[in-house]
């Protein structure tokens, strides 16, 4: 029986996911690799985060989104699984908004991190 948990996310863009992990100083490995779990079980993932205890965290494409794959019994991060996903998702959303705004001809005019951890972005576009 597999010990792996697969947690759905709203993450669909691999580049923005990688940028989010980098922003959070998370050491990740690109490319399809095996996420290590209980008793040598493995699960393929497109992004892998190795933990010191020998059990990994990964993000795997399920056809719709990248879901978090891990043996949660051996979770070894500073944050809970929910806290970790909240931080990754926030940085992912930031990068997605900036990319889509740029593609639409906008540029970031101002950004501010609020006390509650939220980010306020002001984008602008000049028209002739």
Q: Tell me the per-residue pLDDT of 15-64, one tens digit each, with 9 for 90 and over.
A: 999 999 999 999 999 999 999 998 889 999 999 999 999 999 999 999 99
Closest CA to 51 of 85, 81, 27: 27
Query: What confidence score (pLDDT) does residue 128 get?
Result: 65
| Whether residue 10 has pLDDT greater than 80 | yes
Q: Which DSSP category does 52 fall into?
A: T
Does pLDDT of 112 surpass 60?
yes
Question: How many other C-beta atoms are found inside a 10 Å radius of the C-beta of residue 104?
Answer: 9
Distances, alpha carbon 109 to alpha carbons 60, 70, 95, 106, in Å: 34, 38, 15, 9
Phi, psi of 10 (to 5 degrees): -110, 20
Q: Please report, rounded to a whole number, the percentage of residues in the chain having pLDDT higher than 70.
A: 98
* Residue 1 scores a pLDDT above 60: no
Percent of the chain topping pLDDT 90:
82
Residue 118 CB contacts under 8 Å (≥ 6 apart), including other chains: none
Q: What's the pLDDT score for residue 126? A: 83
């Amino acid at each position: 029986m597999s010990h792996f948990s697969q947690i759905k996310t709203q993450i669909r863009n691999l580049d923005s996911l990688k940028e989010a992990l980098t922003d959070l100083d998370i050491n990740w490995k690109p490319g399809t690799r095996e996420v290590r779990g209980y008793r040598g079980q493995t699960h393929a993932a497109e992004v892998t985060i190795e933990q010191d205890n020998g059990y990994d965290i990964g993000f795997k494409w399920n056809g719709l989104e990248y879901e978090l794959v891990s043996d949660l019994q051996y979770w070894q991060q500073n944050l809970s699984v929910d806290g970790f996903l909240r931080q990754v998702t926030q940085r992912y959303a930031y990068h997605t908004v900036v990319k889509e705004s740029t593609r639409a001809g906008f540029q970031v005019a101002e950004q501010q991190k609020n006390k509650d951890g939220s980010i306020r972005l002001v984008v602008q576009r000049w028209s002739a």
